[in-house]
Amino acid sequence: MTIKPLKNISGAFDLPGDKSITHRAIMLNAIAEGEAKVYNALLGEDCMATIECMRKLGAKIFIESDYITVAGAKKIKNSQELFVGNSGTTIRLLTGLLCGAGVNAELDGDDSIKKRPMSRIIEPLSMMGAKITALEGGFAPLKIKSANLKGIEYKMPVASAQVKSCLLLAGLFADSPTTIIEPVKTRNHTELMLAAMSADIITRRNKVIISKSKLKSIDVYVPGDISSAAYLMVLATILPNSYIVLKNVGVNPTRTGLLDILKICGAKITMLNRRTTSEEPVSDMLIQSTDDIKPFVIGGDLIPRLIDEIPILAVLACFANGQSIIKDAQELKVKESNRIDTTVNMLKKMGARIEATDDGMIINGSGALMGGVEIDAGLDHRLAMSAAVAGAVSLDGVKIKNAQIADVSYPGFFKIFERGEQ
């Protein structure tokens, strides 16, 4: 895939549905009583993996033109062939669900999934009584043997919505209540959806308590994914004379760290028509280019609120008029790639003054990127999309190897660049 430099970008853009919310809408409705419609579901590869897994486990899922229907499984089946592809959310949430449901199952994924740490879910699930075996060091494939679970009180050592959600799904089936305490509040889509589906769940700041519950299916209107909107927002902010409209963007406060940082940078964003859809806050947005981009510091409690946006924010930092610092972001090392290394190597190759640190990166903005190189996105969709934006705002463009990995979260992503002025 070749991305040529763009002069500007304008117009209204449709966003794909939120990936995190789509996974949850499918998984939870697949174990609920009744049948539900999910509107604006993301049908990228990650969520398709969730759909395939839930079908194997007994749910009836049909993809129609405007929505998908999910009819809950009467009984969750054993399955030795659950393939999650590239999706960390699928493997971690599903493992919690399957341990709770007391079935025998086996989960595996692609080469990126096989490198991602699963001990963070295996340890607390084992404390609940689950029987899971993994490869040495806690890596997929995971084998689950039927067992009865009891509730625990668990202080999570890492801030991870996937770990929290995994334990909430296991806790739905456990004989006694499960209490989960997060070091920093992470995205709360699971809690919101479980409450709407009549689960016995209480949330107080960083603490969630869940007790055994039967779920009732609900229709879900999935908002546009702010993590996908991020690429367009950064592109329009950097390219002069740009003006874009994004409709129906999810703005759950546990996900809007990006907006906080864009504000600090001086980005011109107008929020319009704020409303709530399926328990989730949403808004339309207008974004205009900014000629004076200010540097920023990201760290601490902000990290989980923008964890997936760090690669694209690093691209933005190259255009700031000073030094930006990203710290406390060790979790980037265990994403679809080691995103500290892959982001820094990508931008260095494109001419940025950027250095990796133990827990993030330091970027000396120079207002430009050279480009004119090839970047291998490997198995990391966010790296592919960040490389494309970096290429479009660079002097010489970029070639992207393995660009099709963007389909994991944003089918049709590269069409954006056909709409810009070259």
**What SS3 state is found at 310?**
helix
Taking every pair of Cα atoms in the chain, the longest distance, rounded to a whole number of angstroms, is 61
Query: What x-and-dash track marks residues 243-282 binding ligand S3P by CB under 6 A?
Result: ----------------------------------------
Please, are residues 208 and 180 in contact by the beta-carbon 8 Å criterion? yes
307 binding ligand S3P? (CB under 6 A)? yes
Tell me which stretch binds ligand S3P (CB under 6 A): 5-13, 160-168, 213-221, 284-292. Answer: 160-168
Quick one: which of 271, 264, 261, 275 has its CA closest to 312?
A: 261
Active site residue 308: yes
Q: Which is nearer to ligand S3P, 165 or 343 (CB)?
A: 165
List the interface residues with ligand S3P, window 326-365 (CB under 6 A).
331
Q: Which is nearer to ligand S3P, 293 or 361 (CB)?
A: 361
Q: Which of 110, 308, 380, 407 is catalytic?
A: 308
Q: Which is nearer to ligand S3P, 332 or 390 (CB)?
A: 332
List the interface residues with ligand S3P, window 51-90 (CB under 6 A).
89
CB 160 to ligand S3P: min, Å: 3
Q: Which amino acid is at 162?
A: Q
Q: Is the dihedral of CA 270, 274, 280, 286 positive or negative?
A: negative
The tokens describing 392, both together, are: 């479009």
Bridge partners of 224, per DSSP, are 17, 249
188 binding ligand S3P? (CB under 6 A)? no
Quick one: which of 268, 229, 267 has its CA closest to 248?
A: 229
DSSP code at position 196: H
List the interface residues with ligand S3P, window 7-36 (CB under 6 A).
20
Q: Which is nearer to ligand S3P, 37 or 187 (CB)?
A: 187
CB 256 to ligand S3P: min, Å: 14
Tell me which stretch binds ligand S3P (CB under 6 A): 157-165, 174-182, 316-324, 349-357. Answer: 157-165
Q: What are phi and psi of 162, to 5 degrees?
A: -70, -40
Region for residue 273 given its phi and psi (left: phi exceeds 0; alpha: psi -120 to 50; beta: otherwise): left
The number of CA neighbours under 13 Å toward the Cβ of 20 is 24
165 binding ligand S3P? (CB under 6 A)? yes
Show which residues are catalytic: 308
Residues at the interface with ligand S3P (CB under 6 A): 20, 89, 160-162, 165, 187, 307-308, 331
